[in-house]
A and B are shown apart, each in its own frame.
Chain A
């Protein structure tokens, strides 16, 4: 960003990478995939690089309002310094915080989550996955992240993005507004869960696997699913076929990947972010 500013140029969008996007090895791949898409469609974008700092979301959810506001003010000062107007991010937590909580502190921006941004690119025909590329016919289920879905009512954008892949999309029993948390929000990411019967991400992964395998019987083993819930059950598959859990949040990514490992299904179930799926289908992840 500082380079662009020095050159007297203004970017169309600021790509907010987020701490997970910058430091988490797995999510760095998503950051790179998203940048490849941006380069591919020729959007003029900038990143803050070392000038970026945590939005304060985990501090706020944990109750540390003071630390949150310190972070928020610092970021708002940076945004104002560069005259930022439009921010795109791949993290629903950064998205929610900047979009909803910064305005009361004086920071007003157009904030877009990358799922909505990708949806727009697809609608405009700037990204078109001809025939779905390598995902054609593969079974994919989307895990709604709480801070995208319930927190901000974004349910259709990620599904629209997945629809372009021409894959076999299936829904979990609990989805959209009824989706089950991956277990990481509210600063849970940084602490051990309280004692209980099961970890939340394991429960959620079991549900995802039941949907991917078309195994309705497996739902009975879940703790919170009321039996006899309406909803079509996908055709059964043999557990050996490759299938995908799609996410659009770095915390969900970690939680669902851990869940898949816990269930020892890494050999045939993969967790991908929307940006990775699109970049791969477009042949950009060379």
Chain B
């Protein structure tokens, strides 16, 4: 029934119901998108907050201690009567434990990755890869316990055979016996911890090498080892080096293993058989005491933290660029 008078009323009604619904839907969609964006922005906020906290807290520190003294001083005794604020002993401890860890993780991690990607039958890889990942899932304080109470005694036992002649040969480098706290055992255990990380990232890089390259090598009569070593490894090298650098930044930031097994005595030494404190171990040591807010010793941990962030940042950026480069190769 067409009633002309009803038309002007019905028309807007029929139109407005879906449009109001559409408006509601549009508003809801926008709202959700904004919430999601805010959540994603939390990553940026965290970075900004980290830098803000570290810089503002250590700014007070650097008002009282010149940056040059901090960077070049060879004594770190902020908790003593006569405090000295030279970060070098902590840096040397950090670098030595990192170097020991890398001397395990880099060669062994690379060989494990080459084996997994070039030699290993797929079913075995399917089993061993996740098992290796379990190694990096172990809490680091457990690794610290293991380093202090299992690996150090084992090293001391081994050292008993070689230590004496080595000590006679060069007493400056080799002590008579291995101390209970030493960077060697902490570094070795740390190396085992980051080994799966290095091997898994480098294996990904090796797998990204096109099969054509391998087939070409095999067609020339190369063995698996020749293919792996002279074709796959160089082709994947920028990716592999990114894995190394990420491994370095992980070793530099590692805390509990060194805090438990390497000792807490800041010691400017490059000898892994010595005990020494790392940057992270120092932060832990100070935090364990009740530090009053606003004192200079409270601010030292932020200054040390800033140093640590700077070191890892350099490695992370280098790793980022290296991994970006290798992605563009193929």
Say if A and B assemble together: no
Interface residues of B (CB under 8 A from A): none
